Structure 1
Amino acid sequence: MCASAVDADGAVYPLAFAIVDVESDDNWMWFLSELRKLLGVNTDKMPVLTILSERHNGLVEAVITHFPSAFHGFCLRYVSESFRDEFKNTKLVNLFWSAVYSLTTAEFEAKVGEMMEVQDVMPWFQLFPLIFGQFVL
């Protein structure tokens, strides 16, 4: 497990790492507890903290527990892999990435509309409200 940060020059540097026997809910809870101690700050006053991760359930719960005011986003590589595995359709995957790179809500909704013409993707989108919830009705 590891946590990295971005400095003022945009460079990524390691904050913490741990070697565990298995990626589990308990290990994520422990790791983020230790990360919070390392940062030594009151997490309630940390609105600018952004955590990007894969969508492991234990990690999601640990972020909610230890960094409740942080924004928690999911790495689009993992999200797109989940989308690809669910739908197994190259056209839909291409439309997904077009939607991701949309610059306006209208453009995003148009791409989602194009996806809906191919297959009903709304139930899948509703699994990812942190990413798409603000756009998908």
Structure 2
Amino acid sequence: MLHRTNPGSYIVLKSDEDDMFLYDFVALNASMKGWPYCIRVVIVYGTFLKLAYGGTLLVAATQDVEGKIFPLAFCVVDSENDDSWELFFDKFRKAYAVREDMSIVCDRHESIIKATIMVYLEVPHGPCTFHLLINIKNKFKKNSKKFKDTFFAVANACTMKNFEYKMRELDKIGKRIRPCLQQIGYHKWARIHSPNNRYSNMTSNIVESLNYAIVVVRELPICTMLGCLRALVQQWSWTNRNIANSTSTKFTDNHDMILNENYIYSLS
């Protein structure tokens, strides 16, 4: 039905030899058409389904130029494991291919890391800085309450001078933190060292927010859930299109507001 009502969508439904459901992957045509106009950062996430049969929903999303959440793909699998994430990225690549300067952001799930290396070897991937902070806090519990703000300042630094300055502040809190971060690789979690532009997407907040929006949907049977996810994408696309059509300035509302605020601030 999705193929009939949304021609051009990339949809894969797989069942076993007894016609029992195995997995499905859905990338709607509207999302595929919008992807070239979004920022080049894909954020992936897995969340469990509250069904009698269990299962996991894998999600990929990005942001449009206005900063709004833009869902890209949904996939229902048995659990977060090596095979399921490799399958997800394989189907995602067939639907969206590879964009120049593309990046992938995720939590530090081992299966995601393995799958990105297998399927998207040429695309840099990095951990969500919030998940990375939790791991570091668990490793260095003695000063865990002290370095949250400093760590985020390091991760979001836009110049090398500011990065090194904040790293020296981190050294004062704990000498072992810098070697740990070096081992992970600065290019994976620090904005200034990232080979591609991650914009403001240093965390997985986008998919966390999307997960909150569909928390009730995750209790529904799979077919009904997919129908609700399709309706959500349709509703957001319709709303955002109307906002865009009514925009009278050269910039989006969000960026126009920032420019106006900076202009007023500059007067003094």
**Smaller-chain TM-score bracket:** 0.7 to 0.9
Question: What runs of 5+ residues in structure 2 fail to find an aligned partner?
Answer: 1-57, 194-268
- Alignment correspondent of 1:124: 180
- Change in Cα spacing, 1:124 to 1:87, as seen in structure 2 (3 Å) is same
- Alignment correspondent of 1:27: 84
Offset of 1:122 from its aligned partner?
4.4
- Alignment correspondent of 1:97: 149
- Alignment correspondent of 2:131: 78
* Deviation larger for 107-116 or 11-20: 107-116
Q: Secondary structure at the match of 1:55?
A: coil
Q: Residues 77 and 84 of structure 2 are in contact (CA less than 8 Å); yes or no, is this contact kept in structure 1?
A: yes
Q: Residues 167 and 178 of structure 2 are in contact (CA less than 8 Å); yes or no, is this contact kept in structure 1?
A: no
RMSD: 2.1
TM-score, normalised with respect to structure 1: 0.78
Question: What runs of 5+ residues in structure 1 fail to find an aligned partner?
Answer: none
Offset of 1:108 from its aligned partner?
2.5
- Alignment correspondent of 1:113: 171
- Change in Cα spacing, 1:122 to 1:109, as seen in structure 2 (3 Å) is closer
Which structure: larger Rg? 2
- The residue type equivalent to 2:105 in the other structure is L
Query: Aligned equivalents of 1:59 and 1:72: distance in 2?
Result: 10
Query: Aligned equivalents of 2:145 and 2:122: distance in 1?
Result: 32
Q: Map 1:50-89 to 2 at 5 A.
A: 50-89=103-142
Name the % identity. Answer: 22
Q: Residues 99 and 107 of structure 1 are in contact (CA less than 8 Å); yes or no, is this contact kept in structure 2?
A: no
- The residue type equivalent to 1:78 in the other structure is H
Q: Secondary structure at the match of 1:31?
A: helix
Q: Residues 73 and 92 of structure 2 are in contact (CA less than 8 Å); yes or no, is this contact kept in structure 1?
A: yes
Q: Residues 59 and 73 of structure 2 are in contact (CA less than 8 Å); yes or no, is this contact kept in structure 1?
A: yes
The answer as to 2:105 corresponding to 1:48 is no
